[in-house]
Structures are given as structure tokens and as C-alpha cells.
Structure 1
């Protein structure tokens, strides 16, 4: 949020968060998504009545997100957020219904409620079949807030102990299978540096079509200071929804393509 609103670098924003006590002295669990993955495992288990092992949660941290990506996202009408996403989906290849949980940076439209989560606040956005869309928003860090939450848990446990109850039991009545990340349906924004010559766009588009990934939008800009003999351009492609496995295969193929100098960044697009 500080990178987006204040223009801070990740390093300076993280240093300030650590100083204020929002991040741990060792912030690895925060910035690499370990803390969010633990929350995702718990929430998925509760929401879907299915055991979600922590090791089954796909996890990517936010240390690769750059200031340039944040600025470009804002210009395009998005904001970059580290999301933990739990879904009940059907695998397109096998027809098996199951549960997935994943943590990664993502582009969120500025019109989405989660885009308005600022500072040290957290939010949980729920899409329910009967209740529609719901969002629960509040402080996610801070000494008083953390102490209050811990004390609330202690009081709740003490009440159950006095009442002689066993506590809150885990519900696994649905017992749905945990599906891999490759089963997820999502969208990508891929930024790459390409050779600026005729036929390159067609060659790149072929990489997508060969893997069944539909392109939604393309933007290109000429890079300054490139090789005069072989100039390059920056190409940004946004896809329609497709299987994660197809999208990942496309990115791998692009990275090996002779017309692509480098794949600069890959961000998933959520909330649409």
C-alpha cells in the first residue's frame, strides 16, 4: 500500500512497517506469504469443511514486486495486493470438484472493495452462493489489536474449559479433494521485452493460441537506450481466463522464444 500511495520502495516500506511493529523483526513470514498461507489453510478448512494441509497451499511472496509494476498497475486501473485465495472449483480436465488455496501478488481493479484496503488493515472478501458478496475489514496488525485478539482467544478457550466442552471441533464433513495450482482458472498480465521488428507480435500471439490461451488486450511501447542494431520494445499482454497450467506453459515458452529478450514480470489478475 505504501508503494502504491506514497511511492515508497519495497525496502523502505518494509523498514517502516517493521519500525511500527506491523511486520516481525524477521519479516520473512510476512513478505514471502508464509503468514497468509497459514491463514488460507485455516480459512479454506473452515469454509469448505475439508482438511487443507499447509503444504498444499501454493505460495509466492511479494519481494519480486517492483515500484515500476505498482505504478504501471495504477495507470492501467489496478492495484497490486498480496492475496490469499481459497476457492471451490471444478477441474476442467477431470471434472473433479475440489478446493484450492493459493497466496500470491495479484492485480485488483480499483473498483473492487479489496483495492480500498489500506495501511495495516486486513480484509476478508467472501463470495457466497446465497448471501452474495461480503467483506470483513479491520486492523490486521498493531500491539493493542493483536493483544485484544489473543486475549479474546484465551477467554473463549477458558469458557469452553469451564463449561466442560471439548472446544471447537474441526469439520471435515465435505471431505473434498485438494486440487493442485494447475487446476486454477485465472487471468495473467505478462510484461516482456521483445525484439522490435515485423512479425514479432504474430509470433508471440502464436505462443498463446497454441496453448489455448485467449488474449484480451495488448499494449506495446518502444524502449529507450536499447541495442541500435536490434532495437527492443516492451509488450504487455493481458489474457482472458484460462487454466493455470496452460498459462504457465505459455510463460515458459515465451521465455525460450528467440523474439523475446526477457519476461519482465508475470502477475495474475483477480477480482473480475
Structure 2
């Protein structure tokens, strides 16, 4: 089934002077203009194209890939504000409209905003900054530890609000963040908890007990490289811990706890040292 604003696989029906017509099935013939025709294209061949409406609201195909598709979220710049709304650059010749009714606050030319793309009741591809209208429409069916894709929306008092798998809202708490984040940043995260309201708690690392055990070997190795001393405790900043071991502060604290219980290290206010026994054994 064909979908406006998404990638569709269509077959080439015929060639004309200004391009190729693709078989749009019940949608009829769809033009693929010459300026986006791949080299060596032949009648009967199938190819993946993005379907949208041109400046005359005619259905058209392109091999170009926009920065956002229907059902997706992206951080895009406003290139013009007109009497019908704001227009953003989404990577195609015709800019993407953000109607005034879909602007949380009035958009300004030159500024970037986090947008959700959809097809409106007039069958137009448009975008919205009112993400609450379009997210959380389905139950958040995730398991603890699931890896998901997120896009940072905004900084809050708790941490960072993020869009999870383009469909739900999630929260990265401040104590789980160990590197600078900006609106529009894309990355992987892991499910910590799905709350009763379907809001999702996230973390940036898959910190588990087993991973903490693996980290202990790295810490011991680093201690031996530094004459049995390391100026990095469970109270050090998340940034310093991440720079040293590439893990969150929570994972590092778990690893130190395991080493301390095993009597392999002693923890002081400003650092940790190997116990005399562990020093002799290695």
C-alpha cells in the first residue's frame, strides 16, 4: 500500500521527455523528474522513492531523502515565515509547512525546532511543534533493558525530556547523564521503567550487574598502571568517570562496590587504592 510522505518501492512504467512515470497503482502514474533520475534507470525496473506534493500540489516522486518523513521527529531550521505559517528546510526543493495552528509558540526564521511530521485532513504533508498531540497514542510496550532510539526534546528540572522510538515520551534523569546534550541530539538509550502513565524512564548506558563485574577488571588494570592508586571515587563527576572508562557514574559505583566487598580496594575521600593483598597477587 502506498504512503504519502514515506519511502515506497515502485516500478518504472514509461519514459517521457521530462522524466519517468512510475506505476502508482490506484494512485495512477507518478512522475519522477529528470533531475532526480538515477543513472541507468530502465523501464520495468523497481526503485525506492519518496512521495510528496510539489508546489502545485501534484503528487511527485523523488530519489532524494528528506530529513524527516511522515511519522518521524526531527530538529529543523525555519527558512521563512509567511501568512500561512512557517516553512522549514527538510532537504527537498519545496519547503515543509508548519501551520500556525501547529506552532506551540510563534516560530522565527533562522531558529531550529523539534518537529513531528504528519499528513493533515487536507492530505498535505505538514509539521508540528505540538508533539503532545501526536505522541503517546499507543501503549508503551517496552521491557526493562530494551534498547531504543531517542531524540532530545528539552532540558527540564529533572533532566532531559526525549522522544522514544518516534512514538512516546521518556525522561533521562540528570544523574544518568554524563555528557552534554542538546535539543535534537539523536542517540541510543535503554529502558529503566515504564510508569503507570506510560511515561518512560531512560538511561544512556545498559548498566547491569554483569557489566559492572566486567568493569572491575578494567579498574584493577588501571590501578596497576598507576602504582595502585586512582583519583576517581564514587563521588567523582559523571564527566570524569565517563572520560576514564566510558561508563555512567552508576555503573562505576556498582563496580567499586563489588571491588570493595571483595576486599580488592580501599576507598578514600580523594581516590581508591589496591589492597596490599591484591598488589602482591598481581
Q: TM-score normalised to the size of structure 1? A: 0.21
Considering Cα pairs closer than 8 Å and 6+ residues apart, tell me whether 1 or 2 has the greater RCO. 1
TM-score relative to the length of structure 2: 0.21
Larger radius of gyration: 2
**Structure richer in strand, relative to its length:** 2
- Larger helix percent: 1
